[in-house]
Amino acid sequence: MATKNVTKSATPKAAKKKYDAPAATRLGYTPDHAASGLDHNFPSIECWPNQFPGYEIEIDIPEFTSVCPKTGLPDFGTIWIRYAPNKHCLELKSLKEYINEYRNLGIFQENVVNRILQDVVKATKPVWCEVRGEFHPRGGLGTLVEARWPKKK
């Protein structure tokens, strides 16, 4: 009777991913593709003290680029950041440097929008914030991704 070699994972349970994902989809997408770019060390986004309460700021980034982590093909789009500042406003030069880090980074479009939201909220601690990414069609499909903080109830 043949025996199978069983190797137990050295990874502790606490370090495992939050969800069970298949090893790969039919098209070859893996959990590594899904997480690609999320652990990138982006430059910090600087802020300056807000002087007025009760208004909104919208920033558009019409020449956004990143790279698909699976195909290596470029993704082009427009990113909008809209927020109501609390005590701090985004400093635009540092935001530009932050956004330029995405240029050659392999990261899914959905993750781009959510990561930008996470980093803007961390930097500014706004009253509310939303980030929208409208990505140009590739293969006949365009994508619009929106993320908000705080999350709608």
Which residue numbers are catalytic?
68, 75
**What are 111's two structure tokens?**
């993750």
**What are 47's two structure tokens?**
């802020």
Task: Give the integer Cα–Cα distance in Å for 52 and 112.
Answer: 30
Q: Which helix (H) or strand (E) holds 142?
A: strand 141-149
Task: Give the integer Cα–Cα distance in Å for 55 and 81.
Answer: 14
**107 contacts 66 by C-beta, under 8 angstroms:** yes
Preceding peptide of 150 cis, ω within 30°: yes
